[in-house]
Structure 1
Amino acid sequence: MELEPPPSVRSLFVRAGWYPHRCKELDEAVDPRHPAAAVLAAFGGLEVRPDGVTGRTCAPSAVHFVRLFPTKRASDWSRLLKTELVGIAELADGHASLYLADDGRVFGMSDIHDACYFEGETFALAIEHVLLGKRAQPMLHPAQREVILYGVVYRRGDPALYPW
């Protein structure tokens, strides 16, 4: 499956070196049937920076497309979400990671603190959120009483939490 960036952020991808029909060789550890394979083939190695973008509801973030090695935390969330999460990018110069689920949903995890969040139903929506500075929806792990995202404390029952 060939993948193109959404029109709203296409110029940022072109500036980073993307071109139509770009196809990078995949790491053999990535299942070619998982949607992460298409993302990494199209964008792997690119560092897309939102230079000149004013965030809409939060600061925009740089995205470095690279296959991430599985972590215990990502495996735990995969189990809880009943999906396979594959790491597809580092965000904010290594402060967070982006994961693609086998059903196409996209999740982020802070690499600084324990926040996990929902970025979008599709890769296109999620990458727009990240590069255009739109807030993600926080998620509360069963072992957490609260989670902090964007300086806001979210507790069980908060309607702003992603209802996974």
Structure 2
Amino acid sequence: MTTLPTTVLPIFAAAGWFPERKVPVPPAVPANHPVAAILSEFDGLNVGKLGPGMECARSDVSFGWPPDEGYDEISEIGALLQTELACFATAHNNHQSLYIDGRGRVFVVSPIMSGISLMGRTFGEAMERALLGRKASPLLLPSHDRVSWYGEVLLRGNPQIMNIEELETG
């Protein structure tokens, strides 16, 4: 069972999730990747609703394989971190895609964002941020000099931006 914070358990339960839920996953899902466990428990669920949140808007999350959009940022961060990222859901009314890496860190990317953000160091943290409206951490890739973050454009050097080294050591 994937660990969920108690703060979001009622939101998942309202969407039809229950402990020990298991559904078949498509054969293309990498079996030895964290995405397999997530999809076997949550695939097909639409969790949460858009609305005001704690720090930013709350999101919805629609689990499914794939909605992989093939973002350049995903390929770049996968190469930098030497891990495969796999898409497992869309969020915020299908305007964002959620990816998980081999270590279980969750990233968010969107065509309306110029970059990628760390949604959580764990799946549970990412779900709490998305469903309760807590901000993700902007991540600046070496190929970019700016990132769009909740209506602001942050430039390289801004202390709010996380870099690859901080991601790896934090």
| Shared fold, TM over 0.5 | yes
What secondary structure, in the 3-state scheme, does the structure 2 residue paired with 1:131 have? helix
Q: Distance in 2 between matches of 1:108 and 1:156?
A: 19
Map of 2:18 onto structure 1: 19
User: How far has the Cα of 1:4 moved from its partner?
Assistant: 4.5
Which one of 61, 65, 71 corresponds to residue 63 of structure 1? 61
Note if 1:154 corresponds to 2:170.
Answer: no
Post-superposition offset of 1:115? 2.5
The number of residues matched between the two structures is: 162
Distance 1:21 1:138 in 2: 34
Provide the rounded CA distance (Å) in 1 between the counterparts of 2:77 and 2:28: 19
Q: So what's the TM-score if we normalise by structure 1?
A: 0.91
Cα separation, 1, equivalents of 2:78 and 2:136: 18
Unpaired segments of 5 or more residues in structure 1? none
Query: Within 5 A, what are the aligned runs for 1:137-148?
Result: 137-148=137-148
Who is 2:46 aligned against? 47
Aligned AA (1:37): A
| Counterpart AA for 2:140 | L
**How big is each residue's C-alpha offset from its partner over 1:31-84, in whole Å with a ceiling of 9 and x where there is no partner?**
111111111111011000236x64111001000011223615222321123211
Cα deviation, 1:111-147, whole Å, max 9, x if unaligned, reads 3232210011100111100100000111122222211
**RMSD of aligned alpha carbons:** 1.6
Q: Read off the aligned partner of 1:144 and give its amino acid letter.
A: H
Further displaced range: 16-25 or 152-161? 152-161
Q: What is the CA–CA distance in structure 2 between the aligned matches of 1:122 and 1:60, rounded to whole Å?
A: 18
Contact conserved, 2:106 with 2:118, CA < 8 A, in 1? yes
1:4 and 1:42 in contact (8 A); partners too: no
5+ residue gaps, structure 2: 165-170
Map 1:21-100; keep pairs closer than 5 Å.
21-50=20-49, 54-68=52-66, 69=68, 71-73=70-72, 74-100=74-100
Overall identity of the aligned pairs, in %: 38
